[in-house]
Amino acid sequence: MRLGFLASYNGSSMQAILRAIDTGRLAAEAAVAISNNPDAGALSAAKQAGIPAFCLNAKRCGGEEAVDGEIVRVLQAHQVDYVVLSGYMKRIGKRTLEQFPERILNVHPSLLPAFGGPGMYGMRVHTAVLESGATETGATVHLVDELYDNGRILAQTRVPVLPSDTPDSLRMRVAATEGELYIQVLQQLIQAP
């Protein structure tokens, strides 16, 4: 299974997956990494691992439609089977969705459908969880479709909300589960007939 990664920042889930591939725990190949952010730590991590890395954004490509087409071109040129989002903060374009149906994965820092949808990302999710009084949260790996946090759920992991939690402490505990959850989902996809 050849994986293409899209990340906007550090790509911590991507890095967990790369470690699992490197140690032989995950029978996959990291084919390419793409970021909209030229300063993304994910691009540095990919280059350090010897993985082709590209910065593709609307400014460099000439608009959102053009960047969507370029993402498809790069993913196809690197023969990607599955696209893995690791903190990618841009909406996935129509052409990318059409070229990789049911093959784009995302991890979201809550138990979807709770605390998902437009505007629910990063610290906003953890703040909303705490404000709601929820006693547990977690992470969800799901398929990506044209709506935010809407695609079919593939797996979830649960994380208790502690009375002492702040949005940052909760974020750190949820984030610590995301890479492992992704690895489990990818192992299941590899083993599927």
Feature table: binding site for (6R)-10-formyltetrahydrofolate: 60, 106
Tell me if the bond preceding 113 is cis, omega within 30° of 0. yes
DSSP per residue over 51-75, as a string? --EEE--HHHHTSHHHHHHHHHHHH
> Would you give the end-to-end CA distance of the chain in angstroms?
13
Report the binding-site residues. Answer: 60, 106
Name the pairing type of β-strands 29-35 and 53-55.
parallel
Contact between 4 and 32 under an 8 Å Cβ cutoff? The reply is yes
Closest residue by Cα to residue 128 from 184, 70, 174, 187: 174
Closest residue by Cα to residue 187 from 159, 154, 138: 154
What stretches of the chain show up as alpha helix (H) in DSSP?
A: 12-22, 41-48, 58-61, 64-77, 94-99, 123-132, 167-191
Strand, helix or coil for residue 175: helix
Helix (H) / strand (E) containing 136: strand 136-143
Is-catalytic flag, 108? yes
So which residues are the catalytic ones?
A: 108
